[in-house]
Amino acid sequence: MIERSSAWFERYLVPPLGALASNVYLQAVRDAFIIFTLPLILAGSLFLIVANPPIPALATFIAPYQQDILVPFQLSFGLMALFLSFGVAYSLAQYRRTEAVQPGVLAMVLFLIASVPVRDLTNLNFGEVLPYLGGQGLLVGILIGILTTEVMRRFRGSRFTIRLPKSVPPNVTRAFEALVPAVLLITLIWGVEWFVSIHTFTGADGKLQQLTLPILLMRAFQPLVFVQDSYPAALLEIILMMLLWSVGIHGMNVVTAIALPFWLSTLTANATAGGHGIVTEPFFHIFAHLGGSGATWPLVIYMLRSHSAQLRTVGKVALGPAIFNINEPVTFGVPMALNPLMMIPFVLVPVIIVTINYIVFSIGLVHVPVVLQPFTVPVGISGFVATGGDFRGSLLQFFDLAVSAIIYYPFFKAWERILVAREEAATVQPVEKNVRIPAGVR
């Protein structure tokens, strides 16, 4: 029964989910975020925490210097879209097996041209542009990163590029090869931006402001940002994540690549403008995936004292990683992936946790997430940090763990019985060596 249904999943569920996860643009966005943007966001967040201490007495002391302390934050976290445009162009070039640094640098130039109105720049107010170089400019940054690499790689080796004699060193040749597409792209983006910034709109301060590409795109996508920060969207995202993991695909990675611009713009609004957005990156990484995707922390504890030798072995290996919210040993060892029995709580537990947390955040029982941190920060600490120093954030995590422990228990016991029966059968008939590895894994 278990074998037959997992074959069904392998046949009908894996291909469409796999196709989504293999999209090269999504992979490039994901890589760019992890490699180029995340370190800057994390470093910048430290200054955000210092500028907003959770202790009131300290906060009063810091208040006069708050904006000064925020300068490193503004120029790292605050410029994330600029660095993301580099990262997307660079990572995509790696996937396309072409030179990566040139498209990366060009993408940053193009992104800046797209984000600044076409006018006399010597008297431009930097504060007006700043939001669109960070949280509000992520979509433009991603699109420009993709465009740059796709255009540049088509010019490489084509007829429409400057040719130099073979004796010229390859580095010089590369620089000249990049010249034609660079000029072309710069002209294109500048031309579009010029057209866009002929138009004006009334800003929040009542003054007329020139339109730019990020402002235009943000206005177009504002409804989507709004919709994304809702319970149905959160539910959809967590279900997609866990369905992917259920067939053994890194679900958080795939969903992150799609939802990231929305999560980050909501989080930026929380961090800098006193927003109350809920559906952000920490909402999933810090408050739902306790001990790893699927909130599998309690399972590890159960496994340590299991009657099944297989589960005990996995439990011992899984304990250390679980502290840092890494649970591949659980996912592939229990296994959860392609195991029709364990897939049920694997999806159900995070769905229920997300539901509880959404309610808790929306009625204000716990401060909404404001700080981004590595997903490897242990449960308990991470809830406190993510909420900008609200100890109830940690309490919520522990409450969610208790919920997870209760739901997983009956499924764990049922799976344990199946494994113990298999293990006993294996010791009676030592010929069938492979029965200790559950069929669901294969």
Partner 1 sequence: MTRLVGGVAIVMIRVLIVCSWGMSTSLLVDSMLAAAVASGYELTVEALSAGEYAARVEECDVVLIAPQIRHLRKSIEKLAASVGKPVALIEPFHYATMNGQAVLEQVLSLFSGVQEG
Binding site for partner 1 (CB under 8 A): 14, 17-19, 21-22, 27-28, 31, 34-35, 91-92, 94-97, 100, 248-250, 253, 313-314, 317, 320-321, 324, 326, 328-335, 337, 376, 437, 441
Q: What CA–CA distance (Å, rounded) separates 300 from 313?
A: 11
CB of 258 to partner 1, least distance (A): 15
CB of 33 to partner 1, least distance (A): 11
Asked if 51 and 66 count as a contact pair (C-beta separation under 8 A), the reply is yes
Q: What are phi and psi of 200, to 5 degrees?
A: -125, 165
Which residues in 318-329 are b (16+ Cβ under 10 Å) and which e? bbebbeebbbeb
Q: Which helix (H) or strand (E) holds 309?
A: helix 309-323
CB of 74 to partner 1, least distance (A): 28
CB of 309 to partner 1, least distance (A): 12
Asked if 313 and 320 count as a contact pair (C-beta separation under 8 A), the reply is no
CB of 53 to partner 1, least distance (A): 30
Q: Which is nearer to partner 1, 94 or 209 (CB)?
A: 94
Q: Which is nearer to partner 1, 38 or 396 (CB)?
A: 38
Q: Which is nearer to partner 1, 18 or 54 (CB)?
A: 18
CB of 282 to partner 1, least distance (A): 17
**Alpha helices for 96-230 (secondary structure H):** 101-115, 126-129, 138-155, 170-198, 213-228
Q: Which of 422, 441, 427, 404 is nearest to 302 (CA)?
A: 404
CA angle 84, 90, 96 (to 5 degrees): 135
Q: Which is nearer to partner 1, 122 or 434 (CB)?
A: 434
CB of 147 to partner 1, least distance (A): 18
Q: Which is nearer to partner 1, 261 or 329 (CB)?
A: 329
In total, the chain counts a number of residues equal to: 442
CA distance readout (Å), 224 to 240, 262, 328:
18, 8, 33
Q: Which of 187, 170, 181 is nearest to 105 (CA)?
A: 181
Q: Which is nearer to partner 1, 26 or 225 (CB)?
A: 26
CB of 343 to partner 1, least distance (A): 15
Q: Both tokens of residue 338? A: 């392609």
Q: How many CB atoms lie within 10 A of CB 396?
A: 21
CB of 13 to partner 1, least distance (A): 11
Q: What CA–CA distance (Å, rounded) separates 436 from 418?
A: 11
Q: Which is nearer to partner 1, 225 or 244 (CB)?
A: 244
Q: What are phi and psi of 339, to 5 degrees?
A: -110, 100
Q: Which is nearer to partner 1, 163 or 442 (CB)?
A: 442
Tell me which residue has tokens 């029964």. Answer: 1
Q: What are phi and psi of 141, to 5 degrees?
A: -60, -45
Q: Which is nearer to partner 1, 100 or 133 (CB)?
A: 100
